[in-house]
C-alpha cells in the first residue's frame, strides 16, 4: 500500500479528527509521544489515599499503568504494561481499568483483585468544578524539542470502596476528595534515556529548583465550594533567579480568578525532602494578597516514583515489557532517606490549606520538589530529584 493509513477504531466514527490520520495513529513519529492520565483520591483526614496513572505510547506500541495505596509511611503499588495493538482504544492494562463515565464530569478508576498485592479499589471521580487547561509545556535544549504537551486538571470528590488485606473501606463524597489530570504530547522521561545523543546535564550544580503542583477543593463555612490550583516553578542560583506562576481560583460555572505571584515559605525534611508545611503568600490578578497556610496531613503520600516517574529500579514509562507484564511491591517505610531517593521526591501529598482572606478551608493534592541547595530552608546541595 503506497500511502498507508492507520487502522480504523470506533473513535473514527466521531467528528473529532484533527489530522489526516485515523485515531489509531498520532501526527508524529516521536517515540516520546504520550497520552497520560494521573489521579488520586484521599481521605480528608489524610489517613488513607490511593493513586492511579495510565499512559499510552502509540509510537512505542505500549500502554502502561499503575495503581497505588498509601497508609502512613507504607505504600503498595501494582504496575502493569501491555502491547498496545490491536486494541489502542481499550484503556485496560491487566487488572487496572480506566473508564470515562460522563465526559468532563465523571471518571471511574478501578484496580481488580490481583496476585501482586493485597489491594483493590473501585473509585468514581465526580467533578465539583469543570476541567481547566494549564499552560502549554514547551521545553527546548538547543535545537531539540524536549517536551511539548497540553494538560487539563479537574477537582472533585471520590466515592466507592477500597479493599486492603481483605478488609473493605468505603469512600464517600463528603469525606473523600479527588483530583485528576489528563495530558498529551511529546513528553519528557519516556523510555530508557538514549545513549547516542548529547547528555542532558540537567540542573547545574549549586542551583536550586523548587516546584509545587497543587489542586485543592475549597469549602466555605456556608458549605459552598470552589477549586484552587496552585502551581509555581522556581529556579535559583547565584546571580540568577527565575520563577513562573500559573495558578488560579476555579469556580463551578467555569469562571476563574488568576493568581499572578506566589512567594513560598515552605519547610522540607532535610533528610528525605518531604514537605512539612508552611505558607504561600499569593497575589491575585486584582492586586489583593492572601496567605495560604499549608498543613501536611499524610506521613509520606503516594510516591510517584513507584509509578515510574523519573524511573524506578531500572524501569521507565513506555518501556516495552512484552505482551502483558504485571508487577509491583509493598514498601513498609517510604520515609527513610534510602527509600526516598529510590522513589524520588515527587509525591501526591495530602494537604489542608486555609485561606487567610476568607472562611474557606481546602483539602487537596500537593506535588512538591525541592532540589539542590536552599540554605534558608536548611537544605544542602544534595542533587537528587
Per-residue pLDDT of the chain (385 residues; tens, 9 = 90+): 466 888 899 999 999 998 888 999 998 889 999 999 999 999 999 999 999 999 999 999 999 999 999 999 999 999 999 999 999 999 999 999 999 999 999 999 999 999 999 999 999 999 999 999 999 988 887 888 888 899 999 999 999 999 999 999 999 999 999 999 999 999 988 999 888 888 777 777 778 899 999 999 999 999 999 999 999 999 888 788 889 999 999 999 999 999 999 999 999 999 999 999 999 999 999 999 999 999 999 999 999 999 999 999 999 999 999 999 999 999 999 999 999 999 999 999 999 999 987 789 999 999 999 999 888 888 888 777 7
- A 10 A CB-CB count for 27 gives 10
As beta bridge partners, residue 232 has: 212, 245
Nearest Cα to 129, choosing from 183, 184, 177?
177
Q: State how many domains the chain has.
A: 1
CATH of the domain at 86: 2.40.370.10
The DSSP bridge pattern shows strands 302-303 and 256-268 to be unpaired
Exposure on the CB side of residue 333, measured as CA atoms within 13 A: 5
Is residue 171 in some structural domain?
yes
The DSSP bridge pattern shows strands 33-43 and 208-219 to be unpaired
Task: Give the DSSP letter of residue 7.
Answer: P
Taking the whole predicted model, whether its pTM rises above 0.75 is answered as yes
Is residue 126 in some structural domain?
yes
Asked whether the beta carbons of 381 and 372 are under 8 A apart, the reply is yes
Nearest Cα to 328, choosing from 169, 122, 95?
95
Exposure on the CB side of residue 115, measured as CA atoms within 13 A: 3
Is residue 5 in some structural domain?
no
| The three grid cell numbers given for residue 165, joined into one nine-digit string | 488485606
Report whether the peptide linkage leading into residue 257 is cis, meaning its omega lies within 30 degrees of zero: no
Cα end-to-end span (Å), the chain = 47
The C-alpha atoms of residue 303 and residue 312 are separated, in whole angstroms, by: 11
Task: Give the DSSP letter of residue 27.
Answer: S
Asked whether the beta carbons of 97 and 80 are under 8 A apart, the reply is no
Question: What was the pLDDT predicted at 383?
Answer: 75
Is residue 316 in some structural domain?
yes
The C-alpha atoms of residue 232 and residue 255 are separated, in whole angstroms, by: 21
Digit-coded pLDDT (tens) for 178-218: 999 999 999 988 999 888 888 777 777 778 899 999 999 99
**Looking at 221-285, which runs of residues are DSSP E strands?**
225-237, 240-245, 247-250, 256-268, 275-284
The C-alpha atoms of residue 244 and residue 134 are separated, in whole angstroms, by: 13
Boundaries of domain holding 181: 32-191+204-377
Is residue 25 in some structural domain?
no
**21, 68, 337 from 296: Cα distances, Å:** 47, 19, 19
Is residue 119 in some structural domain?
yes
> Which helix (H) or strand (E) segment is 116 a member of?
none
The C-alpha atoms of residue 33 and residue 60 are separated, in whole angstroms, by: 9
**Angle, CA 170 vertex, CA 166 and CA 172 arms, to 5°:** 165
Is residue 13 in some structural domain?
no
Is residue 18 in some structural domain?
no
The C-alpha atoms of residue 210 and residue 77 are separated, in whole angstroms, by: 26
Asked whether the beta carbons of 78 and 95 are under 8 A apart, the reply is yes
Asked whether the beta carbons of 74 and 326 are under 8 A apart, the reply is no
The C-alpha atoms of residue 53 and residue 311 are separated, in whole angstroms, by: 14
Q: Say which residues have a Cβ less than 8 Å from residue 324's Cβ, sequence separation at least 6.
A: 80, 81, 82, 83, 93, 94
Amino acid at each position: 500500500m503506497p500511502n498507508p493509513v492507520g487502522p480504523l477504531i470506533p473513535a473514527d466514527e466521531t467528528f473529532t479528527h484533527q489530522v489526516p490520520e485515523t485515531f489509531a495513529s498520532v501526527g508524529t513519529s516521536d517515540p516520546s509521544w504520550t497520552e497520560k492520565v494521573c489521579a488520586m483520591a484521599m481521605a480528608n483526614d489524610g489517613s488513607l489515599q490511593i493513586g492511579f496513572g495510565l499512559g499510552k505510547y502509540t509510537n512505542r506500541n505500549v500502554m502502561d499503568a499503575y495503581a497505588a495505596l498509601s497508609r502512613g509511611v507504607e505504600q503498595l503499588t501494582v504496575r502493569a504494561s501491555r502491547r498496545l495493538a490491536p486494541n489502542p482504544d481499550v484503556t485496560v492494562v491487566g487488572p487496572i481499568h480506566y473508564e470515562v463515565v460522563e465526559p468532563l464530569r465523571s471518571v471511574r478508576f478501578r484496580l481488580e483483585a490481583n496476585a501482586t498485592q493485597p489491594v483493590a479499589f473501585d473509585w468514581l471521580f465526580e467533578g465539583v468544578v469543570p476541567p481547566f487547561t494549564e499552560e502549554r509545556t514547551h521545553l527546548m535544549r538547543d535545537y531539540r524539542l524536549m517536551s511539548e504537551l497540553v494538560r487539563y486538571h479537574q477537582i472533585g470528590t471520590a466515592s466507592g470502596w477500597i479493599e486492603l488485606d481483605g478488609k473493605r473501606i468505603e469512600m464517600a463524597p463528603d469525606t473523600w476528595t479527588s483530583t485528576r489530570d489528563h495530558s498529551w504530547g511529546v513528553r519528557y522521561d519516556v523510555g530508557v534515556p538514549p545513549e547516542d545523543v548529547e547528555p542532558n546535564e540537567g540542573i547545574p550544580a549549586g542551583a536550586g529548583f523548587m516546584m509545587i503542583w497543587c489542586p485543592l477543593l475549597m469549602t466555605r463555612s456556608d458549605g459552598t465550594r470552589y477549586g484552587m490550583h496552585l502551581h509555581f516553578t522556581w529556579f535559583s542560583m547565584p546571580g540568577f533567579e527565575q520563577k513562573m506562576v500559573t495558578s488560579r481560583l476555579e469556580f463551578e460555572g467555569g469562571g476563574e480568578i488568576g493568581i499572578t505571584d506566589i512567594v513560598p515559605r515552605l519547610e522540607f525534611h532535610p533528610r528525605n525532602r518531604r514537605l512539612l508545611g508552611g505558607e504561600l503568600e499569593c497575589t491575585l490578578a486584582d492586586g489583593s494578597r492572601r496567605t495560604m497556610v499549608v498543613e501536611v496531613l499524610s506521613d509520606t503520600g503516594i510516591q510517584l516514583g513507584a509509578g515510574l516517574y523519573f524511573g524506578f529500579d531500572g524501569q521507565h514509562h513506555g518501556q516495552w515489557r512484552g505482551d502483558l507484564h504485571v508487577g509491583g511491591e509493598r514498601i513498609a517505610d517510604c520515609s527513610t532517606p534510602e527509600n526516598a531517593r529510590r522513589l524520588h521526591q515527587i509525591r501526591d501529598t495530602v494537604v489542608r490549606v486555609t485561606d487567610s482572606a476568607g472562611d474557606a478551608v481546602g483539602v487537596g493534592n500537593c506535588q512538591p520538589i525541592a532540589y539542590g541547595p536552599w540554605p534558608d530552608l536548611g537544605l544542602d546541595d544534595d542533587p537528587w530529584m
